[in-house]
């Protein structure tokens, strides 16, 4: 969808605008290897494949900016600005997109400085979410990843944003402001020292690079790299910025957008498209024995009712901000009462 805009396809043969609105889900700053010699649309650089394919190249963001490496000025909305056919846009990203798809370049220039999104664009981070997860997933190990896989699924917030996008397009009702890590407010920062010392997490700051690749020669040559920044986290290891669902706002675990690969599978490198989950200890004695600085469940929630009430309050705030539908808030409250909201078990 981002390349659809960039290539000017939102204008039909008669010069009319095709789509009034667009919701781009989990693109990060990916584009497609389209409209090029020997093009293979969909072959995007990943941590372990297609690293030098020319898909994810400048421009990375909607606004027109300058690439300090190549000297080019460009932006995803450049063509539709000229033809007056730009739609209203929402972009929603999981936390994995910062680690595996260079999402920070959506809100920085190519030197890593803050930029504002255009007025017709909103961006939302699904805080603590992996690239995708099944609707009924729970935390579980898989062979290629070192840590249990993050099971969070973003259906609830996505339904609310779709309703907000429709109201924006149809009725002119402004949608919720962007909820995205930004350099300007300190919620986007370099990888070094990002996480607290949580046992078993094994944080190394590994993430996918953003490279300027010269594909006019064979084999392609990397001519430079752009800075990739990552979401700042709190003392629990959960990202501070973004659309924080009650699972993150009232946590029972650390939920990351990254997961290191296991022994025998390029150990320590990034496990593609996954995140990790590390549950909190049950009691203070348990966490102290493990050297875990995160408060235990017993220290956080004196009773099941205290946990339930905190989830209810967090969900109510999101409903008031139009970031969660009332039906989904009720479903989350029921899951909290059944002790399944955190998706740590069935």
Q: What is the pLDDT of residues 254-287, one digit of tens each?
A: 999 999 999 999 998 999 999 999 999 999 999 9
What integer pLDDT is reported at residue 28 of this predicted model?
96
What ranges in the chain are assigned the alpha helix state H?
2-6, 78-83, 96-100, 155-171, 246-249, 284-290, 297-300, 304-320, 326-337
Cα distance between residue 219 and residue 216, in whole Å: 9
Rg of the chain over Cα atoms, rounded to whole angstroms, equals 21
The kind and range of the H/E element at 224 are strand 221-226
Mean pLDDT of 222-251: 98
Q: Which is more confidently placed, 38 or 6?
A: 6
Q: Which of the four pLDDT bands, split at 50, 70 and 90, describes residue 346? A: confident
A 10 A CB-CB count for 304 gives 11
Cα–Cα distance between 230 and 107 in angstroms, integer?
Answer: 12
pLDDT in tens, 116-128: 999 999 999 999 9
Q: Residue 189: enclosing H or E segment and its boundaries?
A: strand 188-189
CA-CA distance, 212 to 215, in Å (whole number)?
10
């Amino acid at each position: 969808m981002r390349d659809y805009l960039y290539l000017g396809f939102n204008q039909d043969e008669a010069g009319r605008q095709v789509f009034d609105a667009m919701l781009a889900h989990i693109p990060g700053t990916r584009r497609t290897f389209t409209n090029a010699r020997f093009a293979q649309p969909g072959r995007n650089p990943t941590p372990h494949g297609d690293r030098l394919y020319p898909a994810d190249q400048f421009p990375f963001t909607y606004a027109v900016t300058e690439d300090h490496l190549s000297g080019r000025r460009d932006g995803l909305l450049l063509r539709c600005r000229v033809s007056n056919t730009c739609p209203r846009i929402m972009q929603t990203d999981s936390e994995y997109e910062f680690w595996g798809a260079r999402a920070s370049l959506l809100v920085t220039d190519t030197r890593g400085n803050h930029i504002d999104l255009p007025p017709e664009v909103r961006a939302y981070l699904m805080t603590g979410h992996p690239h995708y997860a099944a609707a009924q997933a729970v935390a579980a190990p898989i062979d290629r990843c070192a840590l249990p896989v993050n099971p969070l699924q973003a259906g609830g917030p996505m339904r609310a944003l779709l309703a907000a996008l429709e109201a924006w397009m149809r009725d002119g009702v402004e949608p919720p402001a962007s909820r995205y890590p930004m350099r300007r407010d300190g919620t986007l920062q370099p990888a070094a020292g990002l996480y607290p010392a949580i046992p078993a997490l094994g944080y190394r700051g590994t993430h996918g690079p953003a490279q300027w690749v010269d594909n006019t020669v064979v084999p392609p040559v990397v001519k430079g790299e752009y800075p990739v920044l990552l979401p700042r986290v709190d003392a629990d290891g959960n990202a501070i910025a973004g659309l924080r669902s009650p699972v993150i706002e009232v946590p029972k675990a650390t939920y990351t957008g990254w997961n290191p690969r296991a022994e025998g599978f390029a150990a320590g490198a990034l496990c593609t498209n996954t995140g990790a989950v590390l549950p909190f200890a049950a009691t203070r004695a348990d966490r102290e024995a493990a050297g875990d600085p995160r408060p235990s469940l017993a220290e956080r929630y004196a009773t099941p009712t205290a946990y339930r009430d905190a989830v209810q309050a967090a969900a109510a705030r999101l409903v008031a901000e139009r970031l969660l539908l009332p039906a989904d808030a009720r479903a989350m409250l029921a899951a909290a009462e059944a002790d399944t909201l955190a998706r740590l078990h069935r």
